[in-house]
Each structure stands twice: as C-alpha cells, then as structure tokens.
Structure 1
Amino acid sequence: MQVTTTGFTIAEYCDQMEKGSITINRDYQRSDAVWPPAARSYLIDTILHGFPIPKFCLSQKTDLRSRKTVKEIVDGQQRSKAILDFYENKFRLTGKSEFSGRSYDQLDQGDKQRFISYSISADVFVGATDNEIRQVFRRMNSYTVPLNPQEKRHATHQGELKWFIVEVTERYENTLKSIGVFTEKQLSRMQDSGLLSEIVMTMLTGIKTASQSLLNKFYTDKDAEFPEEQDMSTRIDQAFTHILRWEQIHNTTLMKPFQFFTFFLAISHALKPLSVLNSVYQASALRTFNDDIVLANLGAISEALDAEDPPEFLINFVSASRAGTNTKINREMRFKTYSTAMRPQMLQ
C-alpha cells in the first residue's frame, strides 16, 4: 500500500464529487447518524474563518477495463457531504456567527472566494485492501491519547445541548484561563466545557454527586430539544459579569474548579433563585450585590481555606473543601456558604 498526501481546494473537491471521481463508500461509514444543522454549520463556519479541519482519508482505485481512477472517501464522509451541500446551496448556516442564516449564494464575494479556495488535506491510500485500511485506523487509534469523558460526549452527541455548550465555552474559555480556573492544557482537554456542562445540569436538576453517567444522560435528554437555552445563556452571562468585576478573587483558591462550581451557582441563585436549589438554600432575588460586603465575605472564605485553624463559622465549609469535594453533601455545604456570602450582611 502506498500513502500520499495531497491537497484540494474545496472547489476542486466538490467538482470531483459531482463528477463521481470522488465517491462515498458506505462500507467505511463509522456512524449512521445524520449530522444535525448545528454540526454542519459549525464545520462550514470553521472553514469560513480559516481554521483547520481534520485531514480526510481517501482510497484510490483504478478500474483496469475503463482505466478510470476513482477515490473513495474512507474517513470524512459527513464532512464531505456537509461541504458539498453548502457548495450546492442546499442549506443555510445556523448559530450566532456573522455568517448565520446565509446559504453559499448569500455570502459576500470575498467569503465565497475564501470558502471555495480553502485547502483540504487528504491522505490517499493507493492500492490498499480493506484489511490494510482497517489496519490504518487501528494503528492510528493505538497511538492517540484516549478521550476523556467530556471529549467523548462531544464526539458522540450532536444535539442542541452540545452546541450550546460549545458556544458558551468559546465565549468564556479565555476568561476561565485569565482568572485562574484552568490552565491552557486543561482547556485543550475540554475541562472548561465539562465544568460549564455540570453547572447547566445542576441549574436544571439540582445538586448531586458528580457523575459521568448523569452528564451522559443529560446530554442525551437534551439532544433533540433544549428549551432552557436562553435562560441558561443569560444566567451564565450575568454570573460572569460579576465574577469579572470582583478582581480581588481572581487567581485565588476560590477559583479552583470545584469551588468555582458552587460559587457560580450561588451567584446565579442569588440574582434569580432556582427552584431546584431552594431546598438547599431558600433565597430571595437580589437586584444587585453590595460589592464591598460580598468581597469581604469571599476574602474571609479564602483566608479560612488557607488557615491552619479556620474560624468556627467556616469549619464545615473548609471541611467540605478538603475531601470528597464533588459529593452532594459537600457541594451543598459550600453552596450554602457561598449563598450566604452573597447576601448584604457579613458572614459570622
């Protein structure tokens, strides 16, 4: 088997697909699932913004009688179909980018040129048998880093919740790094996406012990419809607005992911109480926060976490922050304390 790497512009690639010199072989289809509009649109948006997309794999075969060469798509069938459909003006982009709502024909001339000129890279397997192609992917997979649970969720789900989390994560990934919640390496492994997913799930279903199976079910339940999207988006924006203003707590122990989780929930609950959290802390809505008092309270919490002998009124909070930090009981304890810290009176 010979492997060569080649490039196509999208115009060249789609032209060859239309002429049948590049075809789809259903035997290589890894999934029968049809990409939803959000997934197709995200791919096209990625191309229009000039970001790279994964390499395609093609198997080149020559018919000895007709002497015609055909390339079959081994890996990249969903991407190829989405690109061709957009090229042929068959769908409009969804989402919230500057290209949303547009088909190919409705793009500006410069954007059209950028799209059709975009370079697709492909590995072409020449004279490969089915067994050799199978071995290619087995060997490639044996050298890749195993996906963590959040990466697996975003690889297997293509529904409304997944694309909402993608959008929110892109909106706040730099913020989460700058205030000290995650490092660049953690962002690259989607830990920010996992945290925001847990926050959204908790706002809708209540505080529970951290569970990958519960998150998997939540993604599945919200695949087809996610009617709470606008409310969740507003809550997230409001909470981040206050967190960004409180610079004194940035890059402190309060920004550890397990602390940030309950702290974030407390902010949102204080501004607009969540029914699923009222059983843990009954709150009345605040129009705004008294920043001086809130920061003094958060400062006391931060000092207690670093102290060898924390004050009596924060001992339970500190205990809930030192072991079993993601259990229901310890999350609820921290949530109560943070919720109290949001009120216009000093902790004591």
Structure 2
Amino acid sequence: MRYNDLDDQVKADFLSYGITTVQLINASDADVLEVFARLNSYSVKVTPAELRHAKFDEPVKWAIWNTTRKWGVLWDEYHVVSIRDSVRLKNTTLIAEMYMAMKDGIGDGGEDKVTSFYTSHKKLSDDDLEPITTQINTTISEAVEWFGTLLAKTTFFDAPNFLMLVTAIAFVKGIMPVSAVSESVKEVRGVGVNLDKAREQLGLLSAAVENEDVTGAYSEFVLATKSSTQRVSSRKVRFANIARALAR
C-alpha cells in the first residue's frame, strides 16, 4: 500500500505525527558517533575504558580525558584509533599509556595496567599532572608535524606503534625515564632527533611491515609488530628500532 492509497483520515494522522529531532551544529564524526553510542549504550557491553571513566573522578582521569579530546585529529583524520573505538573511549587507553610512560617509563601495557595507573595515581593534583600533559601534547604535536604527511598510512599511525613513536621521541629528547623497555637503548636518551635520518629509517621500517618482510634487515621489528603489542618483549624490539631511527 502506498500513501495515495490511504484514506484522508489516515493521511492526516500520518502528516501530523510528531518526530523529535536534535540538530548537532559543527559536530565532528566522532561527536555524532559518541551521541549515538550513548543513546544505544544499553545494548553494548561496557569497555574497560568506559568503566574507568565512570569509576574515577580524580584529576588523573580528567587530564587523560582532556588530552584525548584535544587530539581529535588523531582519531578523526589519522585514525590512530578508529572512530568507532574512540566512541567507546578506547583512545583514552592509548593516551593513558603515554601518561604512564612519561611518568614512570614505558613497560607492559593493557587495560589492567591502565586501571592500576588510575588507582595508584589518584592523589596526583592538577599541578602534578600539568608538566606531564605539556610533555605529551608537545611530543604528539612533533610526531604529527614531523611524520604525519610521510607516515600517516603506515604502522606508525596505528595505536601500538604510534605509542612507540611518541614515547621514543620523548626518550631521545631526554624527557622519558629509562625503563625495562628502553634499557637496551639508554645510550640514545637525550641525544636529540635527526629528522632526515628518522624519516628515512622509519620509512624503511614501515615498508618492511607493509611487505611482511620477516627475513630481511628489519625482520625483528616486523615480527614484534605482528605479535602481542602490549608485552615488554614486543615493545623492547619496536621501541629500540624506533629510538635508534630517531637518534642523532
């Protein structure tokens, strides 16, 4: 049956039916998806990141949240974390790991480690967190400015290796402390970044990953990228390769 087949009263009822709408002015794709995720959240299993956001209300939570929101370009344009995963706050996990690395050096990752960081750093004040936030914002900005055009479509702008890239920049600049992951390349801490060398070497590493070259000069990096990306064993290999590529 079509509209023209309806009798006049049904047509009138149809045309007078009210529909509630909400207009989102100047909203990004991520903003729109976030609204829909919230409306439909009753049917979706809550993620660990969403649980943390609901459970914690200390400055450390808000510092991580605000930094995540500040870097919308990473999710909207570069898709370091997909928009869909960002709606579920999984991008806060990546940013939280940057706070963990800047504070204590990079180690094992994963949701449990992030939750432990929130718990153990409840007493940090806004003043305590401000210099860490500044370091993270500066280093992300450098990663995007220096490598965004060249490496946007490569492994270095996927979350696991983007984390390694940002933290390696901080390490080579002397900002991030030595840890189990960075111990093997502690000699390059603080030596500074050689951009020309870095662009060339990171390009070679990304090409090896793209070509799945598990027998060539960068096979360790390729295999580590393909393995569990949260464990120290994988991170040590990837971090060392990136740090050496960056170092003067």
TM-score normalized by the length of structure 2:
0.74
Matches within 5 A, 1:58-97: none
Q: CA deviation at 1:205?
A: 2.8
Match 1:300 to one of 194, 204, 207 = 204
The alignment yields a C-alpha RMSD, in angstroms, of 2.4
Q: Which residue of 2 aligns with 1:185?
A: 84
Q: Deviations over 1:304-328 (max 9, x none)?
A: 1012435643111111011222211
Partner Cα distance (2:144, 2:43) in 1: 37
Q: Which residue of 2 aligns with 1:285?
A: 190
Q: Deviations over 1:90-125 (max 9, x none)?
A: xxxxxxxxxxxxxxxxxxxxxxxxxxxxxxxxxxxx
Matches within 5 A, 1:1-348: 143-226=42-125, 228-245=128-145, 246=147, 247-277=149-179, 278-282=182-186, 283-287=188-192, 289-310=193-214, 312-344=216-248
Q: CA deviation at 1:218?
A: 1.1
**Structure-2 change in CA distance of 1:343 and 1:158 (3 Å):** same
Q: Deviations over 1:24-73 (max 9, x none)?
A: xxxxxxxxxxxxxxxxxxxxxxxxxxxxxx9xxxxxxxxxxxxxxxxxxx
Contact 2:75/2:83 (<8 A) preserved = no
Q: Deviations over 1:267-290 (max 9, x none)?
A: 111112422335242134245x33
Partner Cα distance (1:297, 1:190) in 2: 32
Q: Which residue of 2 aligns with 1:14?
A: none
**Structure-2 change in CA distance of 1:183 and 1:214 (3 Å):** closer
Q: CA deviation at 1:224?
A: 2.4
Partner Cα distance (2:42, 2:140) in 1: 38
What letter matches 1:167 in structure 2?
N
What letter matches 2:230 in structure 1?
N
Deviates more, 1:306-315 or 1:316-325: 306-315
Partner Cα distance (1:212, 1:238) in 2: 25
3-state DSSP of counterpart to 2:130: helix
Q: CA deviation at 1:201?
A: 1.2
Partner Cα distance (1:319, 1:262) in 2: 15
What letter matches 2:72 in structure 1?
E
The structure whose residues are more often strand, as a share, is: 1
What letter matches 1:304 in structure 2?
A
Q: CA deviation at 1:213?
A: 2.6
What letter matches 2:78 in structure 1?
I
Contact 1:202/1:208 (<8 A) preserved = yes
Q: Which residue of 2 aligns with 1:6?
A: none
Q: CA deviation at 1:197?
A: 0.5
Contact 1:181/1:251 (<8 A) preserved = no
The structure whose residues are more often helix, as a share, is: 2
What runs of 5+ residues in structure 1 fail to find an aligned partner? 1-53, 55-139
Partner Cα distance (1:235, 1:143) in 2: 37
Contact 1:204/1:276 (<8 A) preserved = no
Q: CA deviation at 1:206?
A: 3.2
Q: CA deviation at 1:215?
A: 1.7
TM-score normalized by the length of structure 1:
0.54
Q: Deviations over 1:249-277 (max 9, x none)?
A: 11222211111111111011111242233
Size of the aligned set, in residue pairs, is 205
Partner Cα distance (1:338, 1:280) in 2: 12
4+ runs of 1 displaced by more than 4 Å? none
What runs of 5+ residues in structure 2 fail to find an aligned partner? 1-34
What letter matches 2:246 in structure 1?
M
Q: CA deviation at 1:179?
A: 2.0
